[in-house]
Amino acid sequence: MFDHKIIITGPVGVGKSTAIRTYSTSAVVDTDVRASDETRQIKSDTTVAMDYGTIVLDAETKVHLYGTPGQERFDFMWEILRSGSRGLIILVNALAADPAQELRFYLHAFADIINKVPVVIGVNQAPKDEQTRAMVATLQQVVQEMGAEAEVLIVDVRKRKDVNKLVKRILFSDKLFAV
């Protein structure tokens, strides 16, 4: 059996934990605690170490999903979790004040692996309208400016098929090897 470790990262409240809960067929391990900083304005609980879930796709493929904490003060976990990664999913909140800046931040934070493993960008909470299409084009431009290769997809992480689309883009990439 081939084990594939995929990291899901992005800002607080973007849907990392939800994506893992939606897709995992095993019991999800989380490290949520009551938010004690400005995060509590967004949500009551927050991930402080990681979320973890797995899915066996077929007799030869098992995917391990690791969700990073969104708060920058827990960035030491980003370093720990990226070791052995075979792919990176960056979630961006379409309703954020500046989704392009969020994407730049995470592409920079994971710069050491973005050219070594497949990367896909998931735009969550996006209405399907002209403004969203323009934002996707802007995000794709940010990816190019940062020297990365990544497809930008509109997703709803509450839908299994959408999370599956992100994971499959990683698994079927030509650039599949661990860092």
CA 155 to each of CA 14, 104, 127, 149: distance values in angstroms, whole numbers, following the listed order:
11, 19, 10, 19
Name the DSSP letter for residue 44: S
25 or 163, higher pLDDT? 163
Share of the chain above pLDDT 90, in %: 45
Nearest 10 degrees: Cα torsion 93, 87, 59, 174: 120
What's the average model confidence in pLDDT over 145-162?
93
Position 76 scores a pLDDT of: 78
Give the H/E segment covering residue 103.
helix 99-109
Position 82 scores a pLDDT of: 84
Spatial neighbors of 74 by CB under 8 A, at least 6 apart, are: 47, 48, 49, 68
CA distance 92 to 22: 17
**What is the CATH superfamily name and number for domain 2-171?**
P-loop containing nucleotide triphosphate hydrolases (3.40.50.300)
Q: What is the pLDDT of residues 79-135, one digit of tens each?
A: 888 888 999 999 999 888 899 999 999 999 999 898 899 999 999 877 777 788 888
